[in-house]
Structure 1
């Protein structure tokens, strides 16, 4: 059976390289965000430059301008922090930061530099961001990209407008000692020489803010893929549930490489209409729809035994019935892989929308085009 793109968690090496207990000193990341600012700043044009611009314009010349970052002028300042009263997010703080950069502005007349029109101006942004910032940690922030454009059509007297975009990286860090399995570790006991001495206490590291960083790794991953004719159940508000047969395309990938990010479910169903009852509009019988998942909850560990593994995933998405408006929906996906008998491989998807309910059940015995793969995530094996 062809496998889908669910990659193995553990690499395979020719030379044995077993994992053993090690204690390392590292910089631990307690929280990490990327911020983007874009703003238009009015800056003063030097008097000599402004006079040269006015003279050139009166003579009918074309004035252009450029702006660019001055290399080596990026800086970030930590201003302060106050507790953030956010339900369900203990330990969070509102952190104030100031970002600075110098911008070089240059004016040109018919493509040639104007005398006295090459000058540098400071540009700053203030940001407030919610971070996990426990006592004992430090803020490490930097600017990793700056873009600038001169807005010449918005010159206000001797002022020119700069359109500046600044991309920033903010991390909360502390130097800690960790085991390779990502647990805090402490120093070994002192080996006494002859006489007892003062014993230093075990150092304590800042505790991680729970609930929002880092995100949990999945314990089970899986994929399902089907394209072909299938019978499913579609119930619309006010109608009786009945099986319908049509073209079904289903693609699902959950926790690829044990990370919830990148998970996806996409379903397209095209109804094959039968005879239309007298007096019933055709569009009322069309049970075609599309569904896209946009939120995944952390799935539980794989269930099953030595030969069978089952992944159960749930979350939310958007279902769009034929001729109807998109509506929010919840879903439950179940994928089962059997190593001994592939005909027992199954994939089922239940979608609960506001007006539309869908039940899809596929088995490789009935739907030979079905392909499934389910694997246990084992990031830190003990063997």
Structure 2
């Protein structure tokens, strides 16, 4: 048997995950009213000749039952982004503490005690709110609305490790209230934050070196007499 078929020990450099958690985060509600509300819907994004956004909606015969509000994650310029794919448009980073990650003694369910570290994470991004009429046409949209949240995690994060985080789920809901004496936009954001503590390590593994597989040739164009798949669960019955 040739040497290539024998297992041997090799040293490889890889990224080790020291800890990994997922948390649902409800970002504090953002509310805008009066002058703040008008600044959220600037005229270049919501063309109008009205004193306020609610007058604009009323002039288009859009009462509370006629217009829809939708909200989505955006970059700082207001372009829609996919939170799972375009994580570069979101800031998700560790908040560096002046005295480093603080140790925390934790009692495990087994009763054993272990020392972990306190890690603080900052998440920042933008959302855009759109107003649509009953036909689904956009009649106006907001400027990018910034949001931020800071989260504290207790993790296995010894010195020399680094934080890797991303958003695996994002949901944004908005509500615009217009009455005779009151107008307000409320924006609520829920996201799933995945946090990993990692470091480059060198590990010893035992294995065999890989070889190329046999090439798969292009299938023949000639038809074959294959029967359609059957349904043995229902026929013939036992």
Q: Which residues of 2 match residues 1-383 of structure 1 at below 5 A?
A: 18-39=6-27, 41-44=29-32, 45-47=37-39, 48=42, 51-57=52-58, 60-61=61-62, 62-70=66-74, 71=81, 72=86, 73-79=89-95, 80=97, 81-87=101-107, 88-110=112-134, 111-115=136-140, 117-152=141-176, 157-180=182-205
Q: CA offsets, 1:256-277, max 9 Å, x none?
A: xxxxxxxxxxxxxxxxxxxxxx
Q: What stretches of structure 2 of length at least 5 have no aligned partner?
A: 75-80, 207-238
Q: What stretches of structure 1 of length at least 5 have no aligned partner?
A: 1-15, 182-383
| TM-score using structure 1 length | 0.39
Are the aligned partners of 1:92 and 1:130 in contact in 2 as well (CA < 8 Å)? yes
Shift of 1:20: 2.0
Q: 1:339 matched to which residue of 2?
A: none
Distance 2:170 2:5 in 1: 44
Shift of 1:66: 0.8
CA spacing shift, 1:39–1:157, aligned 2, 3 Å: farther
Distance 2:161 2:147 in 1: 28
CA spacing shift, 1:19–1:34, aligned 2, 3 Å: farther
Shift of 1:74: 1.3
Which has the higher mean CA deviation after the structures are superposed, 149-158 or 72-81?
A: 149-158
Number of equivalenced pairs: 165
CA spacing shift, 1:145–1:162, aligned 2, 3 Å: same
Distance 1:105 1:134 in 2: 41
Shift of 1:68: 0.6
- The structure with the largest alpha-carbon Rg is 1
Q: CA offsets, 1:351-380, max 9 Å, x none?
A: xxxxxxxxxxxxxxxxxxxxxxxxxxxxxx
Computed over aligned residues only, the root mean square deviation of the Cα atoms, in angstroms, reads 2.8
Shift of 1:106: 1.1
Q: CA offsets, 1:77-119, max 9 Å, x none?
A: 211332112243433012111111211111124443224x332
Instruction: Give the 3-state SS of the residue equivalent to 1:86 in structure 2.
Output: strand
Higher strand share: 1
| TM-score using structure 2 length | 0.60
Are the aligned partners of 2:22 and 2:195 in contact in 1 as well (CA < 8 Å)? yes
Are the aligned partners of 1:43 and 1:121 in contact in 2 as well (CA < 8 Å)? no
Instruction: Give the 3-state SS of the residue equivalent to 2:94 in structure 1.
Output: strand
Instruction: Give the 3-state SS of the residue equivalent to 2:106 in structure 1.
Output: coil
Shift of 1:161: 1.5
Distance 2:71 2:106 in 1: 41
Distance 2:23 2:117 in 1: 16
